[in-house]
Every structure is written in C-alpha cells, then in structure tokens.
Amino acid sequence: MSPKHHGALVIFGSGPGIGVHVASRFARGGFEKVVLVSRDADRLRNDAFIVYSTAPRVQVSTVAADLASPADVQRALRKISDVLGDTPVECIHYNAAKASRTTMLEESEPDLRANIEVGRESRLRWIVLVAGTMIAKSKC
C-alpha cells in the first residue's frame, strides 16, 4: 500500500526539539513540502538537513524570521507563498516562543510582552493569508 500524499506543513518556531521532530514525522507521513520558520538561520539549515534525512523525497524550505516583528512576518509569509506555489497548506504547527532560561515568575514584563507578541502577530497574519483557502478546500 502506498503512503497517503499531503500538501504542505508549515512549522512556525522550528527548533532542535519539538519543531524538527514534528516536521520529520509529517515528512515521513507523506507531506510533499515542509517549511521551517525560525529566527536562527544557522539552526534552520541543520533542522532542514535532519528533516530531509528522514524523508529524502520531501521538499524542505527554510525561512529566517523574527515572528515578533510585523515586517519580518510579512516578508516570511511572502517567501512561504513563493516556496509553496500551488501546493496547499494542510497543516500549521505553531511552536514559536521567546526562549528563556528563567521561570515565568522571573521574567520581566517587557520579556513577557515580547513572548506574547511572537505569537499574536504571526498567527494573525497567517490566518488572514490562508484560512479562507484551507476552509474552501476542507482542510481544516
């Protein structure tokens, strides 16, 4: 029996833990394209290599962006659209956060606000861009 084929997975907040493992699992599960988004371009190259190593037929793309920056989010979404072309987004995994070595109670108010902004800005923009298409194609 041949594996089921899927369109694209976009991981917002790729990293060496959850992000790369989710991407690898979906790639092995038949997703045609995987897009990894993170602010660390060097780590993204390594994440892409890991995903590709688990499923060599998948097209893995990377987008370096600070998801707390509206300008970076807009640029990232344009690049994602270009990379995906006509391939439909079938799944979005949102894992972006401002990493910290402190507990929430030790965080400063500006740092807590920055972490909230990482999620709010990019989620809003992504929803505006793809929600209508995903609903029309009954993918959500």
Average pLDDT of the chain to the nearest whole number: 83
Q: Are 36 and 117 in contact (CB under 8 A)?
A: no
Joined tokens for residue 137: 């194609």
Q: With bands split at pLDDT 50, 70 and 90, how would you rate the model's confidence at 107? A: confident
DSSP 111: H
For the cut 90, the answer to whether the pLDDT of residue 136 exceeds it is: no
For the cut 50, the answer to whether the pLDDT of residue 57 exceeds it is: yes
End-to-end CA distance of the chain: 26
Q: With bands split at pLDDT 50, 70 and 90, how would you rate the model's confidence at 73? A: confident
* Domains, the chain, ordered by start: 6-136 (3.40.50.720)
Burial class (CB in 10 A: 0-12, 13-18, 19+), 103: exposed
Best-predicted range by mean pLDDT among 50-59, 101-110, 131-140?
50-59
Comparison of pLDDT for 3 and 10, the residue scoring more = 10
Tell me what pLDDT residue 27 has.
96
Rounded to whole angstroms, the Cα distance separating 3 from 16 reads 26
